[in-house]
Amino acid sequence: MTEPVEQDGADVPVLFERMCALPPDAPEREALRDELVRAHLELARNLARKFRNRDESMEDLVQIATIGLIHAVDRFDPSQGSDFLAFAVPTISGELRHHFRDNSWSVRVPRRLKELNANISAVREELTVRLSRAPKPSEIAAHLGVPIDEVYEGLRAGQGRYGASLDNLLENSAHTRFGEADANLSQAELREALRPMLERLPDRERKIVALRFGSGMSQSDIARRVGVSQMQVSRLLAATLKKLREGLTETELTDGA
């Protein structure tokens, strides 16, 4: 499931057309659907990354994003004439947003504290950027204009958000040896392959990709920064990603030969 994207040069619109031309119960439909989902796994992962926070596990987010992607493949109607990415991105983001909205805390915490905790998290991010280090409770209190005791309360309440299993406390931790092969080693190669392609991109496109996936900015933020409309950012991004993906497939083919 986590293998790098394998696109055997298949064109996404063509796949969709073929799939939609088939009757709903045709057996080949399943294979095409799989192929379409697999071709966009990296997109789901990138979107999941955008929603990453310190507490939610990345694997969980990728799962949720992948479910969103499956919904997107199932619901996409190519006869509407729009690009699949333009449809998939909001569908996947929506799935992730629902997760954050509906997922309740593991310990029941009064609403006031939940809100306080949300405010503190937001300020924490903001101040971390401004100070280039994590803020102190006193700085958070000053920024929010609330008494410091409330900040203490809110921080403590945050501990109730995610439960931890008592069993995993001591499991395998005490005497395991330090150091092992980096789990992301396989990504390194892809990253190296991407670099020259990124360098060849026109300035504006490279900047948009960097802001989107490097700094995790939203499309509207990028739009404001680069001085184009959000729709344009979306289109440029989709086109650039397609270009990069095709490039990667080429390098794989030539290197693998």
Partner 1 sequence: MVDNTPPGGEGAQLIEVRTAAVPHVVPTLRTIVADIAMRQDFDLDAVEDLRMAVDEACSMLLPSAADGHLNCVFSWKDGRIEVTVSVLSDSPEPDDETGLSWQLLTALATSARRSVTPADGGYLSRVELIRESEAARP
* Chain contacts with partner 1 (rule: CB under 8 A): 124, 133-138, 152, 155-156, 159, 164, 166, 169-170, 173-178
CA 207 to chain CA centroid, Å, is: 19
CA 51 to chain CA centroid, Å, is: 6
Assign 3-class secondary structure to 4-50. Answer: CCCCCCCCHHHHHHHHHHCCCCCHHHHHHHHHHHHHCHHHHHHHHHH
Q: Which is nearer to partner 1, 138 or 215 (CB)?
A: 138
| Smallest gap from residue 171 Cβ to partner 1 (A) | 9
Q: Which is nearer to partner 1, 2 or 176 (CB)?
A: 176
Q: How many CB atoms lie within 10 A of CB 138?
A: 10
| Smallest gap from residue 218 Cβ to partner 1 (A) | 25
Question: CA-CA distance, 210 to 218, in Å (whole number)?
Answer: 12
Q: C-alpha distances in angstroms, 49 versus 46, 124, 158, 206?
A: 5, 19, 22, 19
Q: Phi first, then psi: give them for residue 89, nearest 5 degrees.
A: -60, -50
| Smallest gap from residue 132 Cβ to partner 1 (A) | 11
Q: Which is nearer to partner 1, 3 or 178 (CB)?
A: 178
| Smallest gap from residue 133 Cβ to partner 1 (A) | 6
Q: Which is nearer to partner 1, 54 or 108 (CB)?
A: 54
For 46-52, the CB contacts below 8 A with 24+ separation are: 46/213, 47/89, 47/92, 47/93, 47/96, 48/96, 49/213, 49/216, 50/93, 50/216, 50/218, 51/93, 51/96, 51/97, 51/100
Phi-psi region of 216 (alpha: psi -120 to 50; beta: other; left: phi over 0): left
| Smallest gap from residue 66 Cβ to partner 1 (A) | 29
Q: Which is nearer to partner 1, 2 or 168 (CB)?
A: 168
| Smallest gap from residue 135 Cβ to partner 1 (A) | 6
Q: Which is nearer to partner 1, 180 or 255 (CB)?
A: 180
Q: Which is nearer to partner 1, 63 or 121 (CB)?
A: 121
| Smallest gap from residue 141 Cβ to partner 1 (A) | 10
Question: CA-CA distance, 257 to 118, in Å (whole number)?
Answer: 52
* 62 token code pair: 């990728």
